Amino acid sequence: MHDINFIRTNPVEFDNRIKLRGLAHCAEKINKIDEERRNTQTVLQNILAERNILSKKIGEIKSKKEDATVIIKKVEKLKDQISSLKELEKIKEDELSAILCRIPNLPSKDVPVGDNEKNNTQYKIWGDKPKFTFKAKRHFEIGENLNLMDFDLASKLSGSRFVVLKGMLAKLERAIAQFMLDKHTNENGYTEMIVPFLVKDDALFGTGNLPKFGEDLFTAGDSHWLIPTAEVPLTNLVREQIINEKELPMRVTSYTPCFRSEAGAAGKDTRGMLRQHQFTKVELVSITTPEDSKQELERMLSSAESILQDLNIHYRVMTLCTGDMGFAANKTYDIEVWLPGENAYREISSCSNCGDFQARRMNAKYKGENKNNFVHTLNGSGLAVGRTLIAILENYQTADGNVEIPKVLQKYFNGQTTIT
């Protein structure tokens, strides 16, 4: 949610920055509704004050056993005005909220300007692409040839965009998740949390998924939704709270299934595990002060990168342009892992600073020296487990169709070095 005071005092800047997100100027419309709301509030406050004065007079008149009929009638008339004004005030508040809650976060001033992913810029690159003496296979070719990845069976159970992993690939996915959690909790300073996989409307509103992106979610009925990412429950841990500044930064992580309808993905990545309705992910969330959030984003990015570095898999980091960022972010880094079978980089993590955008929607604050301020929230994948499995299959494949197990994961396989 946006700060109405900022829009009121900086309408031109607001319009210019929101235009970078592909939206038309709207500050004038917002400020007009806000002015009507504030004018209504002023009139209401004046009438309430007048009613209080008259009510006091009624008491004084009655104490003298005099007739207060005229003033009583006037107070009754004021009550009707108050009721109408309160109704009008709510209408204007709802009208203002309906507009503000659908406007994406303003981009940070250091974000590259552009309309789509073609305008993203490379921030850094790590490692080297593997060199094979054979034609690299795609992950689903490897998995199906090993008889450890079954899409047809999953389709019978649940339809398209699902997979059944068997035996050593099921164990590999579990090992990847365990490695990520161990790394983030033991070395990167995150506290592991187990959170609900079902959340209410308010939680999704807080992170910015609702009301605009309901079609991308799976509903469970009774105002409950399956989480699209653990960002939702983790970030909402501070909803409607005032945190002591000494408790910040708060860094939490969780391994959960994620559920997405992929409503806008028709025809994209129809083969394999790249785009699924259900997948697993280790999520990173930080709650911090405004002064520290920029540095916290760099720290979160480094934490996510450390997983691929330990796995020794080549990747690059892209800074997303203004037109490619998510709804709630003011700055986002995408980590794109190299997939030899695809002969392409594919996103494996997004790390975003949301500033106070989500905090305002959640009413999440921290207690500073002089006043309560909105916290800043950050989130990132540390990493997407299924896509990490894909990256391992394609980068560690061998000429005979087997897959070498990365050294850092071998401890989860009792020293076994190859998936056959």
Catalytic residues: 260, 275, 347, 350, 387
Report the interhelical angle of 27-63 vs 11-19 (nearest 10°): 140
Encode 278-314: b = buried (16+ Cβ within 10 Å), e = exposed.
bbbbbbbbbbbbeeebbebbebbbebbbbbbebbebb
CB-based contact 38:89 (threshold 8 Å): no
Pairing relation of β-strands 242-244 and 365-367? parallel
Q: CA dihedral in degrees (178, 180, 181, 182; nearest 10)?
A: 80
For the chain, give me the number of helices (H) and strands (E)? 12, 18
- Rounded to an integer, what distance in angstroms lies between the CA atom of residue 143 and that of residue 396? 13
CB-based contact 25:18 (threshold 8 Å): yes
- Rounded to an integer, what distance in angstroms lies between the CA atom of residue 375 and that of residue 353? 12
CB-based contact 376:357 (threshold 8 Å): no
Token reading at 315: 């990747």
Q: CA dihedral in degrees (256, 275, 333, 403; nearest 10)?
A: 80
Cis peptide before 383 (omega within 30 of 0): yes
φ/ψ of residue 227, rounded to 5: -70, 135
Q: CA dihedral in degrees (97, 103, 105, 111; nearest 10)?
A: -160
- Rounded to an integer, what distance in angstroms lies between the CA atom of residue 384 and that of residue 272? 15
Pairing relation of β-strands 149-150 and 331-339? unpaired
Angle at 365 between CA 364 and CA 371, to 5 degrees: 155
φ/ψ of residue 17, rounded to 5: -75, -35
User: Long-range pairs for 150-153 at CB < 8 Å and ≥24 separation?
Assistant: 151/272
Angle at 89 between CA 87 and CA 90, to 5 degrees: 65
- Rounded to an integer, what distance in angstroms lies between the CA atom of residue 350 and that of residue 307? 14
CB atoms within 10 A of CB 5: 9
